[in-house]
Structure 1
């Protein structure tokens, strides 16, 4: 093992592995440089836990002569029989190093040993990658060298683990920040916040189609069902909308109890007003079908979900609003206020989908003129439109 080259690799990692701009590229370059320095690694794995509601962790596998392969696992992995007998279990749970020499009968307690032995491996070591706060990720190192790793080579692996842990911690923190912002404020808002738009009052104007929806009868529903059941119902209900909104270019900005506010930006990149409004209407139809198919038990009966959504097109103010150091990235303006009023009108009319005159005039979706209605806070009445294919519940 060339000590000088090893130190160069460690220095390169401490400096941020600048010649490898992505984690897979960093892993490939680091592994290949270690091989050239005399470390006989055949396969390297890195396992990074994430702060994500659906994904427990990500994996990166480099194999000598091959590419870096990436993957993800969900939270169910922790309760799986495979994880219980994996060398990684004690690494994650106790932060300890685990070695499996393939000529040691005791290593047979790990089923992965037989799989790797069949591929010619002779030694395997799992090394914890410990963050500055004690949080543990893991790395695995496998060789085909006869007799396995020497003590000098194991020492080199341990020395690499330290800067590798720091690199992973930095990259993961930024990725976690991005994922959390995407999860809680949306992708577009998250990009702006990470880009430095964090001061109160810092806002932009943009043209957007506005979506404001509400679950009908939610107050009565909350009163007669256990809180846990209400949460489950809301999650099912929002699932029907969020997937349709995101698939059609929208961004969910806010959940307000049973309400949902989303925007579909209009610009040269995503398309003109007609194109954007057409996708908004498609999302509304998909959501309507999804919600209609849902049902929940209420005693001996089964109730259907009922919801309404108002669609409008206008200019909004999009940015940071709040008090002190507690801010919310959202959109405001008369256009949003009108959408909120239209949603209340939809409820009174028993309609699922209603649109403003401007939205319906741009989007050819088969609209019926439902008439003019006074709108609280606005000097003029608003003309409201509903879909031809929808019969008002109030007319039944």
Structure 2
């Protein structure tokens, strides 16, 4: 029934083909929905909807608050999840008054609806719904056929779900590019690549003093809010966050050397830095009678990095190293001494056309030559903290 033309890393294509083949086998499906609960810090579940005659799969996500909404509580799916039972409804019958979704389906021509539990081998419960426009609804043989295929479908859907969960968790903890490489088989220590990238290294000014005078729980809340100010801008401009180090953040913006897009990438990096600066400046965190305000510094550099698995024993980290990363780290410390928010290396300034001001030449530990450091002309020196 299921072709290998759409492997599990293409769930949309697989679901489309699966539904089409069930229709070819005699099941009068009009709409099929798969509802998967996820292991994600912000997403409670995902839904995938196939509709006959409609190109593509409609996909959506719901947050954890969905469980308390009147819409969900008045849905057949709430019963499937709470009682682990099938729920069948006739859009033209009295149950349509109980389940508003059946009224919506009736308006679209549906004649029958069935929601079934999907039991995964790990013990978790998910759901699948099917609707038809066949006059009189599903007949007994078709209902029996759906009950027969639901278990093997659950196995395949579980495989797809587990892969997507792995992708999401890797994306959350190591970044999307690193996650893709790990899933692609780059799991051995020493397995790495060299690439050119714009490097972003930042930290929060005055973090040590902040940690000393505030409760640890409050410091964690502040860090999360502070990192939000950067991560949104970094990812929105094509960057990847590799690591959080206390109050520090390391991100890279890959450069395609064959395309020669260094100028374009560096411009996006600078825009992300300016957006982050504005967000951090606007951040206000009330602590008792005091409203805490914050400043940060970020160093920007361009260079070649070694990107891959580094670690000891069976504990590895997918990160980047190299002289370019070391230089960015040194520049970030210089930014603090100069009271600047954004500083850049000479290499970054050469490809990022902007109104820069040379801040001086500084000896850098580990480098034989002093390095020229640049700042934005629009910034003035702030108090050093």
Q: TM-score higher than 0.5 here?
A: yes
**Does residue 313 of structure 1 match 2:299?**
no
* Equivalences for residues 239-318 of structure 1 within 5 A: 239-268=228-257, 271-318=260-307
| Partner residue, 2:4 | 18
| Partner residue, 2:323 | 334
Distance 1:163 1:270, change over 3 A: farther
2:132 maps to which of 135, 140, 143: 143
Question: Once the 2 structures are TM-superposed, how far is the Cα of residue 255 of structure 1 from its aligned partner?
Answer: 0.7
Distance 1:26 1:377, change over 3 A: closer
**Stretch moving more, 272-281 or 343-352:** 272-281
Distance (whole Å) between structure 1 residues aligned to residue 321 and residue 203 of structure 2: 18
Distance 1:375 1:64, change over 3 A: closer
The answer to whether the 8 A contact 1:211-1:263 is kept is yes
Question: Once the 2 structures are TM-superposed, how far is the Cα of residue 320 of structure 1 from its aligned partner?
Answer: 0.6
**Does residue 60 of structure 1 match 2:48?**
yes
Question: Once the 2 structures are TM-superposed, how far is the Cα of residue 56 of structure 1 from its aligned partner?
Answer: 2.3
**Stretch moving more, 192-201 or 42-51:** 42-51
| Partner residue, 1:191 | 180
| Partner residue, 2:77 | 88
The answer to whether the 8 A contact 2:343-2:376 is kept is yes
**Stretch moving more, 368-377 or 174-183:** 368-377
Question: Once the 2 structures are TM-superposed, how far is the Cα of residue 147 of structure 1 from its aligned partner?
Answer: 4.4
**Stretch moving more, 136-145 or 97-106:** 97-106
Unaligned runs of 5+ in 2: none
2:217 maps to which of 228, 244, 252: 228
Question: Once the 2 structures are TM-superposed, how far is the Cα of residue 55 of structure 1 from its aligned partner?
Answer: 2.5
The answer to whether the 8 A contact 2:337-2:384 is kept is no
Distance (whole Å) between structure 2 residues aligned to residue 201 and residue 359 of structure 1: 28
Distance 1:220 1:112, change over 3 A: same
| Partner residue, 1:33 | 21
Question: Once the 2 structures are TM-superposed, how far is the Cα of residue 106 of structure 1 from its aligned partner?
Answer: 5.4
| Partner residue, 2:117 | 128
Question: Once the 2 structures are TM-superposed, how far is the Cα of residue 395 of structure 1 from its aligned partner?
Answer: 8.5
**Stretch moving more, 28-37 or 332-341:** 28-37
Cα distance per residue 1:14-39 (max 9 Å; x no partner): xxx32345433333333333333332
Cα distance per residue 1:279-316 (max 9 Å; x no partner): 22222112112211211223323232100001122222
Distance (whole Å) between structure 2 residues aligned to residue 126 and residue 65 of structure 1: 21
Paired residues in the alignment total 382
Distance (whole Å) between structure 2 residues aligned to residue 35 and residue 85 of structure 1: 29
Distance (whole Å) between structure 2 residues aligned to residue 219 and residue 395 of structure 1: 14
**Does residue 388 of structure 1 match 2:377?**
yes
Question: Once the 2 structures are TM-superposed, how far is the Cα of residue 183 of structure 1 from its aligned partner?
Answer: 1.7
TM-score by length of 1: 0.88
Distance (whole Å) between structure 2 residues aligned to residue 278 and residue 40 of structure 1: 54
1:350 maps to which of 333, 339, 347: 339
The answer to whether the 8 A contact 2:188-2:309 is kept is yes
SS at match of 1:249: coil
Unaligned runs of 5+ in 1: 1-8
Distance (whole Å) between structure 2 residues aligned to residue 220 and residue 270 of structure 1: 45
Distance 1:69 1:206, change over 3 A: closer
The answer to whether the 8 A contact 1:357-1:383 is kept is yes
Distance (whole Å) between structure 1 residues aligned to residue 95 and residue 239 of structure 2: 55
Distance 1:331 1:65, change over 3 A: closer
| Partner residue, 2:314 | 325
Distance (whole Å) between structure 2 residues aligned to residue 368 and residue 116 of structure 1: 63
Distance (whole Å) between structure 1 residues aligned to residue 170 and residue 356 of structure 2: 37
| Partner residue, 1:164 | 153
SS at match of 1:38: coil
TM-score by length of 2: 0.91
SS at match of 1:378: coil
The answer to whether the 8 A contact 1:281-1:365 is kept is no
The answer to whether the 8 A contact 1:270-1:276 is kept is no
What value does the CA root-mean-square deviation take over the aligned residues?
Answer: 2.4
